[in-house]
Amino acid sequence: MSTTLRCLIAALPLLFGVAAKAEVSVQGTRVIYPAGQPEVAVVLKNEGQRASLIQAWVADGGIEQKAEASRAPFVLDKPLFRLDAGQSQVLRVRGLPERAPKGDLEHLYWLNVMDVPPRETTTGENTVQLAIRFRMKVFYRPAGLGAPENPAAKVRFNQTQDALTLHNDSRHYFNVAEMTLVSAAGERPLDSFYLAPGETKTLAYPAGYTGPLTAVRYSWVDDDGILHQENPVIKRP
């Protein structure tokens, strides 16, 4: 499974024609880094007709964090490189033990890959060249913490008249790709989200939507990016 860079645009179109098309793909949907392993590999491929300048870094902060501000416990072997049309490149994520987080819980970081297109000359047309950035989850697993086993069983659901509360009892992150609430008011889809280890998250019902819920359907994502369907039993408030 691969993911095409299409998530974030590092410029505004203003009033000009926009020359932006994501053509660099990343193999997989997430990176799992077990503590003590020297490195993990991520494969990038340029599926377009032009060369790309790729800038990559691992962030420990929000979406606006610059590469130089990150204190993530990782370094990349090629933070800046050219990727020719039709070619692939292995990007190696290497651990920095001196920055490794303490404790026995999984930690979340973000691999950022920015595709910077070359300047194009056009006749009689103004264009804005857009750099497109993709973010992929990087999960750091401390020593002794393997892959999650039946993680859905470790998520507790409770509802009130106007909200649904979830609690993650696991030491792993729990990633929900999609969720649908069902009540007498109909069905309402919710955006994707994740639960950190030990986190409690309250999901307020959408405006105009009322409980109690009669059912919840959702899909969670495993280490391989595969979706698993769940229909948990939701007790009435």
Maximum Cα–Cα distance for the chain, whole Å? 66
Backbone torsions φ then ψ of 99, nearest 5 degrees? -105, 0
Of the pLDDT bands very low, low, confident and very high (cuts 50, 70, 90), residue 21 is: low
Q: What is the value of pTM for the model shown? A: 0.86
The distance of Cα 155 from the centroid of its chain, to the nearest Å, equals 20
Q: DSSP per residue over 152-200, as a string?
A: GGGEEEEE-SSEEEEEE-SSS-EEEEEEEEEETTEEEEE--EEE-TT-E
Q: Which residues contact 96 (CB under 8 A, 6 or more apart)?
A: 73, 74, 75
Could you tell me the fold of the domain covering 2-141?
A: Immunoglobulin-like (2.60.40)
* Predicted confidence (pLDDT) at residue 11 exceeds the cutoff of 50: no
* Helix segments in the chain, DSSP class H: none
Q: Do domains 2-141 and 151-230 have the same CATH topology?
A: yes
pLDDT surpasses 90 at 3: no
Does 226 have pLDDT greater than 90?
yes
Q: Given this structure, which CATH class describes domain 151-230?
A: mainly beta
More confident: 223 or 3: 223
Output the pLDDT for position 14.
35
Among all chains, which residue has been given the structure tokens 């109909």?
A: 186
Read off the pLDDT band of 126 (50, 70, 90): low
Report pLDDT digits (tens) over 177-221: 999 999 998 999 999 999 999 999 999 998 888 889 999 999 999
**Domain boundary assignment for the chain:** 2-141, 151-230
Report the helix count and the strand count for the chain, using DSSP H and E. 0, 21
Span of 115-124, 139-148, 183-192, 219-228 with lowest mean pLDDT: 115-124
The 10s digit of each residue's pLDDT in 37-81 is 999 999 999 999 989 999 999 999 999 999 999 999 999 999 999
How many whole angstroms separate alpha carbon 179 and alpha carbon 227?
12
Q: Which residue has the tokens 């969720």?
A: 179
| Strand 17-19 with 127-129, pairing | parallel
Mean pLDDT of the 103-116 span = 96
